[in-house]
């Protein structure tokens, strides 16, 4: 098996999906000859032609609307939004059309589309290029929101997203596009959606995260382990609909839970998980559920962004504090 | 026209554009210019006439149902029947319609049952699972947002080399939205088989066209996107059918997109929740009644001796009977069980929502 980066795994999955299914169409800004600003689509236009892989005009609303129209016609469109800060013009199409086309026509039409976009900060990018507003998307009924945290899961989950009969927003953790490397077998096998992945088993505290923050969360678990605190690490992977059973099962075992995300705290997806555990896992709790998150500020420009992003130290401190309860 | 550059600078003109206007029948039914060939088939014209009369009677009934609490908010198409009927009658079954919320006449022409339309406005999604062409889109309520979708549909046709056309209807207010421009721009670049039709009924709820745009015509917006825009008398169903037929045929034959501005007038309120008297002078509406499409075609057909008072009375009775039967069927539709709101949320209900569904069943 070849070792690839996360963004290379995205490319492998796109190529595999296009090879397997002539209905798959890839488009967005600069995705053609340039291969995308992060090179996620590199080589696809040369291989599959400029009808199936094409550059759109600079128009994000159009990209999402094209997805809806094509998907209703039985194509499998995969649109790319260059950065998450530019996804907002797509919200009308996602909320009012993509996510509800099946429901509003009672199954007469459906919308098997994927909208891909880089997610999150930590790459010293210009303003509006480091957004992590996934919670906004998770509030949309009928949508799927998926974030991989490794090359293996990027490959398997993207294949699953493209094959899924419903609309998926696929958020790609920009910070680990190249930093995350792993062996990926290009065998066309998808990973399950709506399922959380237990990356590390533990007995004292459950650490829940997704996307690029999984890296710091795993590092925190290592540090805690050296201190004699056994941390279970869960990569949520699909944020909507999310795997309640795995989360509740883990908290039932450990009695403690720390949720880690780089998005702002208020109304972040961590709040949803904390509410779930309060509603259905309270009796197993030995300590309050805590969140280690970005702050309720605008994502700072690069000079301050490292102070905004949850660090290994902040995660460790939260887990230690949870462990002080007995 | 507003010229770019000051006249005294004597700069060379590098481009000129024109917008053509299409009209055949005058408001009194007289012929303004030579009719298109299809108009010699008076049976087709009678069919168009019957369709417009049906939808007007249907609209009246729908408003009455709303007023008596048996239908939700409803958008009648009073005065603009010729646009939807003219366009839909130029489509083939395999083409795809992307209608706005006021285009019920187009849906009815394409075979959607009256009770399905009532069911939707009556608050039941099953109305959108309609009996018409299965790939047609449901009414689009967020203004203009169906335009990029139409481009996507047309792209699929082109990719698969299918001789089909996407037909997208929206109102004058929609032309102020980026959605419409982005769709037209893309359609122009890829020469897509799509026809955009703007029903310019002069009012976007209370905002008149002069506050919507400083453009001399809406049709000229197509010029910036690189294809033809024409203005059509939207109260003349012969002109609407002719324009739509030419545009759809051209799109089907690989000649790319086309834009039609149908100039008409919304004689009624925006919806049953609106009172147009608040913002629109009565005299203006009364004057526009003299141009409306149904009386115009009736005058023409009567002049051709193919339509009589007896036939008019028979048609009215037929429409009433058909509508009454549809209303009866609509009112007899039992509400869905509450938990069925989950049935088409996803292709297969995710496990996470099974418990919520059970809550509605009165379960756990």
Q: How much is the pLDDT for B9?
A: 77
Which class in CATH covers the domain with range A197-323? alpha beta
Mean per-residue pLDDT, A13-35: 98
Q: How much is the pLDDT for A274?
A: 98
Check whether residue B225 and residue B359 sit in a common domain. no
* A86-118 exposure pattern, b = at least 16 Cβ within 10 A, e = fewer: bbebbbbbbbbbbbbbbbbbbebbbbbbbbbbb
Check whether residue B327 and residue B345 sit in a common domain. no
Has residue B2 been placed in a domain? no
Q: How much is the pLDDT for A233?
A: 98
Mean per-residue pLDDT, A3-32: 98
Q: Dihedral angle at the C-alpha atoms of B100, B102, B103, B104, nearest 10 degrees?
A: 130
Check whether residue B117 and residue B245 sit in a common domain. yes
Q: Which residues have a Cβ under 8 Å from the Cβ of A163 and sit 6 or more positions away?
A: A17, A21, A76, A190
Other C-beta atoms lying within 10 Å of the C-beta of residue B204: 20
Q: Does B271 touch chain A (CB under 8 A)?
A: no
**Mapping DSSP to helix (H, G, I), strand (E, B) and coil, where does residue B22 land?**
strand
Check whether residue B176 and residue B316 sit in a common domain. yes
CATH of residue B311: 3.40.50.970
Q: How much is the pLDDT for B132?
A: 83
Has residue B69 been placed in a domain? yes
* Cβ-Cβ contacts under 8 Å, A241 against chain B: 350-353
Residues carrying CATH 3.40.50.920, chain A: 197-323
Q: Does B337 touch chain A (CB under 8 A)?
A: no
Check whether residue B188 and residue B283 sit in a common domain. yes
CA distances from A140 to A92, A100, A166, B4, B153 (A): 11, 9, 13, 46, 24
- Greatest alpha-carbon pair distance for chain A in Å reads 62
CB contact under 8 A, B151 and A96: no
The number of angstroms, rounded, from the C-alpha of A88 to the middle of its chain's C-alpha atoms is 17
CATH topology of domain A2-184: Rossmann fold (3.40.50)
Q: Which of A25, A69, A89, A168 is the best mutation test for B, with the most CBs of B within 10 A?
A: A69
Q: What is the pLDDT along chain B (364 residues), one digit of tens a residue?
A: 455 556 667 899 999 999 999 999 999 999 999 999 999 999 999 999 999 999 999 999 999 999 999 999 999 999 999 999 999 999 999 999 999 999 999 999 999 999 999 999 999 999 999 888 999 999 999 999 999 999 999 999 999 999 999 999 999 999 999 999 999 999 999 999 999 999 999 999 999 999 999 999 999 999 999 999 999 999 999 999 999 999 999 999 999 999 999 999 999 999 999 999 999 999 999 999 999 999 999 999 999 999 999 999 999 999 999 999 999 999 999 999 999 999 999 999 999 999 999 999 975 4
Q: How much is the pLDDT for B1?
A: 47
Evaluate if residue A214 carries a pLDDT over 80: yes
Has residue B8 been placed in a domain? no
Q: How much is the pLDDT for A313?
A: 98
Residue span of the structural domain in which B186 resides: 15-28+36-272+279-333
**Rounded Cα gap, residues B62 and B114, in angstroms:** 10
Q: Does B111 touch chain A (CB under 8 A)?
A: no
Position of tokens 């409306």? Answer: B292
Has residue B5 been placed in a domain? no
Other C-beta atoms lying within 10 Å of the C-beta of residue B202: 18
Has residue B6 been placed in a domain? no
Q: How much is the pLDDT for B271?
A: 95
Check whether residue B260 and residue B354 sit in a common domain. no
Check whether residue B315 and residue B342 sit in a common domain. no
Is B49 part of the annotated catalytic residue set?
no
Q: How much is the pLDDT for B7?
A: 61
Residues carrying CATH 3.40.50.970, chain A: 2-184
- Structurally, chain B folds into a number of domains equal to 2
Check whether residue B322 and residue B346 sit in a common domain. no
Closest CA to A116 of A57, A189, A187, A37: A37
CA nearest to A79 within chain B: B152
Q: Which residues have a Cβ under 8 Å from the Cβ of B331 and sit 6 or more positions away?
A: B70
Check whether residue B352 and residue B208 sit in a common domain. no
The distance in angstroms from the start CA to the end CA of chain A is 45
Structure-block tokens of residue B292: 């409306």
**Rounded Cα gap, residues A71 and A55, in angstroms:** 18
Q: Is the ipTM of this complex over 0.85?
A: yes
Q: How much is the pLDDT for A2?
A: 84
From the list B125, B159, B351, which residue is nearest A104 (CB)?
B125
CB A284 within 8 A of CB A252: yes
CA nearest to B159 within chain A: A51
State the nearest Cα–Cα gap between B162 and chain A, in angstroms.
Answer: 12
CB contact under 8 A, B148 and A243: no
Check whether residue B255 and residue B361 sit in a common domain. no
CB contact under 8 A, B125 and A106: yes
From the list B152, B347, B353, which residue is nearest A68 (CB)?
B152
pLDDT in tens, A244-297: 999 999 999 999 999 999 999 999 999 999 999 999 999 999 999 999 999 999
Closest CA to A57 of B339, B192, B15: B192
The answer for A36, left when phi > 0, alpha when psi is -120 to 50, beta otherwise, is: left
Check whether residue B23 and residue B98 sit in a common domain. yes
Check whether residue B221 and residue B345 sit in a common domain. no
CB contact under 8 A, B155 and A243: no
């Amino acid at each position: 098996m070849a070792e690839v980066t996360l963004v290379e795994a995205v490319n492998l999955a796109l190529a595999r999906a296009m090879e397997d299914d002539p209905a798959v169409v890839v488009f967005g800004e600069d995705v053609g000859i340039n291969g995308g600003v992060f090179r996620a689509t590199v080589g696809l236009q040369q291989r599959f032609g400029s009808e199936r892989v094409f550059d759109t005009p600079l128009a994000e609303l159009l990209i999402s609307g094209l997805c809806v129209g094509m998907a209703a016609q039985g194509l499998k469109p995969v649109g790319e939004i260059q950065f998450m800060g530019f996804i907002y013009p797509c919200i009308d199409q996602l909320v009012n059309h993509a996510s509800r086309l099946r429901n509003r026509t009672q199954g007469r039409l459906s919308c098997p589309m994927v909208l891909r976009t880089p997610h999150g900060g930590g790459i010293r990018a210009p303003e509006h290029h480091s957004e992590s507003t996934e919670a906004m998307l998770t509030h949309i009924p009928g949508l799927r929101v998926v974030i991989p945290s490794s090359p293996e899961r990027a490959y398997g989950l993207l294949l699953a997203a493209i094959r899924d009969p419903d609309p998926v927003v696929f958020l790609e953790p920009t910070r680990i596009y190249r930093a995350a490397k792993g062996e990926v077998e290009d065998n066309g096998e998808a990973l399950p959606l709506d399922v959380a992945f237990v990356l590390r088993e533990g007995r004292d505290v459950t650490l829940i995260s997704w996307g690029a923050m999984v890296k710091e969360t795993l590092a925190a678990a290592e540090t805690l382990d050296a201190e004699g605190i056994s941390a279970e690490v869960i990569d949520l992977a699909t944020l909507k609909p999310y795997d309640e059973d795995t989360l509740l099962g883990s908290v039932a075992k450990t009695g403690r839970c720390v949720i880690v995300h780089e998005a702002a705290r208020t109304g972040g997806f961590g709040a949803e998980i904390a509410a779930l555990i309060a509603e259905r896992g309270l009796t197993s709790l030995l300590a309050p559920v805590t969140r280690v998150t970005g702050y309720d500020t605008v994502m700072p420009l690069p000079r301050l962004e490292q102070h905004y992003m949850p660090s290994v130290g902040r995660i460790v401190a939260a887990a230690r504090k949870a462990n002080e309860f007995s | 026209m507003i010229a770019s550059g000051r006249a005294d600078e004597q700069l060379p003109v590098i481009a000129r554009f024109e917008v053509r206007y299409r009209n055949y029948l005058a408001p009194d039914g007289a012929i303004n210019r030579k009719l298109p060939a299809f108009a010699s088939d008076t049976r087709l014209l009678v069919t168009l006439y019957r369709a417009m009369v049906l939808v007007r009677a249907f609209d009246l009934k729908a408003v009455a149902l709303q007023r008596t609490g048996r239908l939700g908010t409803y958008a009648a198409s009073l005065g603009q029947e010729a646009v939807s009927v003219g366009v839909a009658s130029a489509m083939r079954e395999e083409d795809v319609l992307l209608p706005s919320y006021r285009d019920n006449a187009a849906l009815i022409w394409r075979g959607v049952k009256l009770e399905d339309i009532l069911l939707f406005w009556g608050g039941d999604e099953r109305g959108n699972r309609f009996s018409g062409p299965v790939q047609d889109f449901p009414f689009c309520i967020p203004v203009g947002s169906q335009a990029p979708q139409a481009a996507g549909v047309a792209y699929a046709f082109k990719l698969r080399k299918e001789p089909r056309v996407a037909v997208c209807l929206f109102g004058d207010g929609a032309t102020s939205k980026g959605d419409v421009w982005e769709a037209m721009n893309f359609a122009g670049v890829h020469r897509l088989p799509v026809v955009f039709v703007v029903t310019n009924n002069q009012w976007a709820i209370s905002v008149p066209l002069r506050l919507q745009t400083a453009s001399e015509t809406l049709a000229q917006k197509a010029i910036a996107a690189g294809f033809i825009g024409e203005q059509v008398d939207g109260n003349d169903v012969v002109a609407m059918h002719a324009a739509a037929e030419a545009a759809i045929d051209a799109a089907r034959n690989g000649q790319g997109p086309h834009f039609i501005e149908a100039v008409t007038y919304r004689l009624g309120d925006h919806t049953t929740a609106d009172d147009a008297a608040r913002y629109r002078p009565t005299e203006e509406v009364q004057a526009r009644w003299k141009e409306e499409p149904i009386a115009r075609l009736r005058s023409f057909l009567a002049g051709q001796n193919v339509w009589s008072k007896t036939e008019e009375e028979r048609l009215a009775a037929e429409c009433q009977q058909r509508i009454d039967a549809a209303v009866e069927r609509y009112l007899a539709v039992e509400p869905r069980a509450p938990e069925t709101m989950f049935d088409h949320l996803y292709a297969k209900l995710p496990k996470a929502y099974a418990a919520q569904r059970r809550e509605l069943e009165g379960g756990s």
